[in-house]
Structure 1
């Protein structure tokens, strides 16, 4: 970390420039308001108290200023039909097409339903496309999402109990203690590195040997049940450690560790049985037929991963496009893993190589050309024409920053709604919240820019274009947070970067 001063200075300079830009914008805006008597009054000291509270007089004044007849009609339209229909930019829709320069073989649409397992679906779908290329499976094939989710919740439960134990050794306030414990939340979501971890430790199985259940497609009740069992064990841990005065000693004795281990083991046995009841028992072996060779073999989850899928977790690396972080730097999120593959085994912290969007675009195209689709994370709801709630309505699944013209509806400048990537990160306006797979790109002019990318989602085959959407380059530059690339696609310099010691940062502070 001592060698990172130049990067800290670069980040600080970016922040200073950002603040200067904001100051300039405010100065310009206030100058414009100064020419308007009504705005002078709105911004006067009488409108807002010195401590920043809104005065009743100011509210009355704002209500008394009636909209124009045209704006009133717009307001009524929004209130009756919703902002999306009124603000829809038909020009974007008119210019849209579904042509692509190159794409990998596509499977049938998948559906995570009422669960947060998108990262598992995206990981499995990425590998499925490679299997289709090899002709070892057909497009109906799918890896079991439920199998990996079983162990996802098992590992997270164990990590949650470990966090409770660790928290009792530290001098933390209640707020700090809860934040420490919940830094590994007991929920469905996750990052690609957690997918790598689960597959490295537990292998994978075909969908038919551990299909989805009612509890895997709608996870809220199961998650609450698991949290109840864990909370009971957590309270027992806290009572014991309080009696031992562990905060003062800062360590557990051998006997104390044994007692804590007993509590954790008892709780984890209950967790396993609850998961088994809701999700099914993970298979230990199964038979599967290679469609290319017509040969049926018996596999374990690990041999299926190694011999049939031929997936090696260490072959993949996550690359990010983060405007507020220096480029060509390797980062590591602190306290971000859900466990270790084996006793005293290698940990799986979240690590990302931050690069420019231009380089990310090159990696996407070279990967698709090589028959490798790409797992990616993004802020999915921004300027999206088709949401999960619109499944029953015709939609295109377009992501484009101009798909909605909010400025024309609200009669405000475009700049109010089209913030650049750096500005959006200042208050975390945009953070990655959904994982999908890039399966194609459109670059009709070899000397021009990529126009758009085809996206495999996990919202079912009734969403958008039979489960596939279309992400335009302008949108990707703003909201495409990270992609997963095979190391064979990286340059020698990039490979050297990921071999170096990464810069550690807080998990919730990278984006």
Structure 2
């Protein structure tokens, strides 16, 4: 059998193209306008009106700008919704994303060093070592990782630690930081290879972390240990709360028992049976902190628990593959938005499991569900609070069709009280450990 493309095949391809009467029209259309504009379906937009039977008032959207902190913004947004409901803070009130960002970077460095030491006896060609070195750290994260940060360091209002150039535009810092971490990995592996005593390795690692702290302080500012919370509420009443620590602020103004909030995933691949717990090797940020844990359920359960939380008046953190079948400017996510297969007369359909198994899709972005449209108790579309500012979508809010949720949503975080009793029991089980590169370990 011939493996290379030969001239006879090229002739057949050309002849087949000429036999299509529409080929010149499509060539002119696609070459001039691109694939998405040529495949766009106007009718799909008419179904995505931003009207919902359940619609929470959550205030203004935030803007992560040129950083990959969507998971952090989404989590802090769900918490600021709680503060808004309890304390009537202004619509533009935010918790400091820069504060949690600082501590996440410090903890990720320590987590990386520990993984380097744990794999130091493996060659650099080993897949686990290569996985570590490909991205020593990044902006992204998972729900359980932000919980680990808050449980250890608390939260503060944005006024107590505002954004900086580097928090809003993180590429310069990340490239410099990853250079340092890779160089540190070289040194740590050399110490292990030389059979250096554990105490000396620990002391050297502390020196490395001291360098990291300095880098972070210069780039993001040093986090406050204590601060005053001063604001006027939405009714213009003045409030001043003095001498708060970040953990005291969280306890007083958010007040959640974070242990109650659990990650629910829909990963319909053959290696992950439903109604079981999973974790991911080498995934986390805080050493000895909260473990990343997922309960895998079918899509009907996935949607049902999200709806229950919205019905209770609480928004929902969720993770998805936002780049699939979506229009950023119009703020629409729908499976009928584009017809790329029809455009090329090629079957491009894949199942959700196939997309995961064959690296076509994984969780890339986290946002917040703030509403749903129920018709005869069935969801048709969902209201989504994004963190890309007000210039996209409907003042920053997106509309997601239920069909799109089924295909491209992978994770929701809900209070475990909304789960059926049998699933609450499964939460207590020891999780199956997935490989570091499993798609359910992707960072939003």
Same fold (TM over 0.5): yes
Report what 1:74 is aligned to. Answer: 26
Partner of 1:243: 194
In structure 2, how many angstroms separate the alpha carbons of the residues matched to 1:197 and 1:135? 25
1:442 to 346, 353, 373: 373
> Offset at 1:57?
4.1
**Cα distance in 2, alignment partners of residues 54 and 349 from structure 1:** 50
Aligned to 2:299: 357
Partner of 1:307: 252
Q: Is the 8 A contact 1:107 1:128 kept in 2?
A: no
Deviations along 1:437-482, one digit per CA (max 9) or x if unpaired, are 0000001334xx2110000111111011111101101111111101
1:481 paired to 2:410: yes
Native 8 Å contact 1:160 1:182 kept in 2: no
Residue equivalent to 2:241: 297
Q: Distance in 1 between matches of 2:404 and 2:214?
A: 45
* Cα separation, 2, equivalents of 1:198 and 1:122: 14
**CA–CA distance in structure 2, aligned partners of residues 151 and 105 of structure 1:** 30
1:270 pairs with 2:211: yes
- Provide the C-alpha distance between the structure 2 equivalents of 1:419 and 1:282, rounded to a whole number of angstroms: 46
Is the counterpart of residue 417 in structure 1 residue 348 in structure 2? yes
Distance 1:494 1:227 in 2: 40
Unaligned ranges ≥5, structure 1: 1-44, 245-251, 341-345, 387-394
Distance 1:399 1:177, change over 3 A: closer
**Partner SS state of residue 287, structure 1:** strand
The structure-2 alpha-carbon separation of the partners of 1:66 and 1:499, relative to structure 1 and needing over 3 Å to count, comes to closer
Name the CA distance, whole Å, in 1 between partners of 2:339 and 2:192.
57
- Compare relative contact order (CA 8 Å, sep 6+) and give the higher one, 1 or 2: 2
1:157-236 correspondence to structure 2 within 5 Å: 157-168=109-120, 170-176=121-127, 178-179=129-130, 181-182=132-133, 185-236=136-187
Structure having the larger proportion of residues in helix: 1
Distance 1:443 1:462 in 2: 27
After superposition, the Cα gap between the structure-2 partners of 1:101 and 1:135, relative to the gap in structure 1 and judged at 3 Å, is farther
State the shift of 1:183 in Å.
8.1
TM-score, normalized by length of structure 2? Answer: 0.92
Q: Give matches, 1:18-97, under 5 Å.
A: 45=1, 49=2, 52-63=3-14, 65-67=16-18, 68-97=20-49
Q: Aligned partners of 1:257 and 1:421: how far apart in 2?
A: 46
Cα displacement string for residues 380-418 of structure 1 (whole angstroms, at most 9, x for unaligned residues): 1110022xxxxxxxx421111111011331123xxx233
Aligned twin of 2:334: 400
Tell me, yes or no, if structure 1 residue 283 matches structure 2 residue 224.
yes
Provide the C-alpha distance between the structure 2 equivalents of 1:222 and 1:173, rounded to a whole number of angstroms: 25
Whose radius of gyration is greater, 1 or 2?
1
Partner of 1:367: 309
Q: What residue is the counterpart of 2:381 in the other structure?
A: 452
**Deviant stretches of 4+, over 6 Å:** none
Equivalent pair of 2:115/2:282 in contact (CA under 8 Å):
no
| TM-fit CA distance, 1:260 | 1.2
Q: Indicate how the Cα distance of structure 1 residues 77 and 305 shifts in structure 2: closer, same or farther if over 3 A, else same.
A: same
